[in-house]
Amino acid sequence: MDLEILLNDLEQLGIKHDEVQSKRSKKYLNITRDTGEFLAVLIKATNAKTVLEIGTSNGYSTLWLASSLPDDGHVFTIENNSCKIDEASENFRKAGLDSKITQLDGDVVDLLAELPQNIDFIFLDADRSQYLAIAEQLFSLLREGGLLVCDNAVSHKEELEGFNAWIANQSNLSTSLVPVGKGELLVYKA
Ligand SMILES: C[S@@+](CC[C@H](N)C(=O)[O-])C[C@H]1O[C@@H](n2cnc3c(N)ncnc32)[C@H](O)[C@@H]1O
């Protein structure tokens, strides 16, 4: 299926689905299109090959990440909701991008230890209350010169206070807050 058509379909589905779905855990909570475009440019500009995403949902953001990578690039994406994992898997197959994506099923806290080192690019879009607890392990997976992007940095600024403070205390990390979508925090690791 044509990627642009699939992305458009998922955008319409995401809006309708999240409007009628009262249970937050079942909502897709997809990134905005401009965030997808922004991530795509960042992946290409940084020549990223290995990407880690925390929070797959139904795979909308993963499609932006995977489709921006070179042929030998790969995305590892973590999700703990089995229905969403199945939906994402179907979307990856439809886009013909399934061979570039490894889905990791479970809680991010348990799965980080299984990931490869020297990841080029991390996209963080899951349970914000966990970010501070996983920060050290997460940034140890990112290679020097790599970039982490955190979604919701403006929309849920207060929830990220502890995480932001931890980052500010690391001498090898520098940040920029970009007003795209729900606010993207860029963290560069020197
Ligand atoms: C905001 S949504 C991700 C949206 C997705 N990035 C997109 O734009 O299409 C957050 C996702 O993280 C998942 N999640 C939350 N806490 C998690 C955890 N501890 N481990 C794994 N996945 C988690 C949720 O089930 C949810 O699907």
Q: What number does CATH give the domain 31-189?
A: 3.40.50.150
* Per-position pLDDT tens, the chain of length 190: 899 999 999 999 999 999 999 999 999 999 999 999 999 999 999 999 999 999 999 999 999 999 999 999 999 999 999 999 999 999 999 999 999 999 999 999 999 999 999 999 999 999 999 999 999 999 999 999 999 999 999 999 999 999 999 999 999 999 999 999 999 999 999 9
Which residue type does 123 have? F
For the full predicted model, state whether its pTM sits above 0.95. yes
CA distance 117 to 186: 20
Determine whether the shortest distance from the Cβ of 55 to ligand 1 is under 6 A. Answer: yes
**CA angle, corner 50, sides to 148 and 65, nearest 5?**
70
User: How many angstroms is it from 54 CA to the middle of ligand 1?
Assistant: 7
State which ligand 1 atom lies nearest to the alpha carbon of 59.
Answer: 9
Determine whether the shortest distance from the Cβ of 18 to ligand 1 is under 6 A. Answer: no
**Domain positions in the chain:** 31-189
Contacting residues for 163 by C-beta, under 8 A, at least 6 apart: 128, 131, 132, 135, 150
